[in-house]
Structure 1
Amino acid sequence: MAKPQTQLIKMVSTADTGYFYVKKKNTRNSTEKFEFKKYDPVARKHVVFKESKMK
């Protein structure tokens, strides 16, 4: 069987609040790690979210 093209990843807040988003990533097209600026409702401001593995 073929390996699935998309993979679920966890986007963890760099504000150390424990808040995270779950996102799909195409591992064939995007090999680098994601880094987005998104809203953290715990910190109540926009912060950088970095990619980490789902456990």
Structure 2
Amino acid sequence: MAKPATVKVKLVSSEGTGFFYVTKKNPRNLTEKMVFRKYDPVAKKHVEFKESKIK
């Protein structure tokens, strides 16, 4: 059976609130860490979310 092309990653808020999003990424095409600017409802503003592993 073939390995799936996508892996789940956790996008953690850089604000330090502990809020995170979970998304999928294809590590074959996107080799560097993902960084998105998304809404953090705990901080009540848009902040950068950086990729980390799901534990």
SS at match of 2:2: coil
- Could you tell me which residue of structure 2 aligns to residue 8 of structure 1? 8
Correspondence for 2:21: 21
Amino acid of the structure 2 residue aligned with 1:16 = G
Q: Deviation above 4 Å: which 4+ runs of structure 1?
A: none
TM-score (norm 1): 0.95
Percent sequence identity over matched residues? 67
> Displacement of 1:4 after TM fit?
1.2
Q: Which runs of 5+ in 1 are unaligned?
A: none
Number of aligned residues: 55
**RMSD of the alignment, in Å?**
0.6
